[in-house]
A = this chain, B = another copy of it.
Amino acid sequence: MVGIGLIGYGYWGPNLLRNFIETPSAKVIAVCDLNQDSLNVVQARYPSIKTTKNTQELFDDPAIDAVIIATPVSTHFKLAMQALEAGKHVFVEKPLTTTSAEGEELVDKAKQQGRTLMVDHTFLYTGAVQKIKEQIDSDKMGDIYYYDSVRVNLGLFQHDVNVIWDLAVHDLAIMDHLLPSHPLSVSATGMSHVAGQPENIAYLTLFFEKSLMAHIHVNWLAPVKIRRTLISGSRKMIVYDDLEPSEKVKIYDKGIELTDSKESIYKMLIGYRTGDLWVPQLDLTEALKTEARHFVECVEQSKTPISNGESGLRVVRILEAATQSMVEKGQPIEL
């Protein structure tokens, strides 16, 4: 049984709490938040869970083996470091830290302490991403040519970080998980449309070995919500639309076609697709449920999490470089 303490009961905290409560080998001991109203909600719903405004109580509590950190990103480093130093395992919201230097320290500290450090890259635990990984790993898709993602939101500004740190982090985590290699350089462009606010629209191109490339469009100021990823291989191509209720992952049979035939060209020009299309049934388990169980299992069995500290650190390095490239209007930055 893994004793759990949760820090932060804001937007995402309630989802984390609910899922860790329902994780068989976990027992949630305490919740910490600076807001008394939030703590009152916890007490009303779950009378047996302790509440506190003081994080130190969690670090000092021997019944707590692991700390879940769901606070603003600027506090991740300090809280995670304290938790690791207190000998706790750590599960931290994305992104891991605000700088790669901090991320490296956390990864090192976790190693020293022999504790699990895991980042909440929730998408990796969805049935959709699992199905795509299965396709790529089994080599059914052939060589991967590109990963292209559009992740845009309605016109909402609420953030202390720019849109890259808020939204592109998801795609970078998914790419880190799915793609056969890590990016070598990044070129990013973006803009702020509200005075005094961070960039609300950004475009990232990532270069890899060989002819693999990736591109991410993130945007807080769109008329419609879009979550669509195209992944193209030499033999198959995938469209992953996370907003599609019943057909999230579509797998297209045919890849590239080199032709000089006029009739083929005409058919391609008027056609809307080529080859058969397969839409697999996905595992509909809530991703956070799968992820909470995975974290507890890693803690109990000293296994390395899928979204471990190193992967979180790789993601932060790209976020840093992309932000720098964006300031320089697309100037490519080596990774």
Contacts and interface: CB of A to CB of B under 8 A. Distances in A.
Interface of A: 11, 45, 47, 145-146, 148, 150, 152-158, 185, 187, 189-194, 197, 201, 203, 205, 207, 211, 213, 215, 217, 219, 221-225, 230, 232, 234, 237-239, 243, 245-247, 250, 252-260, 264-269, 271-281, 284, 325, 328-332
A276 B273 contact: no
A203 B205 contact: yes
B277 A247 contact: yes
B281 A155 contact: no
Contacts of A187: 187, 189, 329-330
A250 to B, nearest CB: 7
Given A156-B268, A259-B156, A330 B205 contact: yes
A272 B246 contact: yes
A155 B284 contact: no
A274 B153 CA distance: 11
Contacts of A275: 281
> Which of A11, A225, A280: most chain B CB closer than 10 A?
A225
A164 to B, nearest CB: 14
Q: Give the oligomeric copy count.
A: 4
A70 to B, nearest CB: 15
Nearest to A212: B191
Contacts of A258: 157, 194, 197
A314 to B, nearest CB: 20
A276 B284 contact: no
Nearest to A258: B157
Given A260-B158, A330-B205, A331-B331, A145 B273 contact: no
A256 B330 contact: no
Contacts of A243: 245, 272
B45 A47 contact: no
14 contacts: A11-B265, A154-B271, A154-B272, A155-B257, A156-B264, A158-B265, A185-B329, A187-B187, A193-B234, A223-B238, A224-B230, A224-B273, A277-B278, A330-B330
Contacts of A145: 191, 193, 201, 221
A286 B275 CA distance: 18
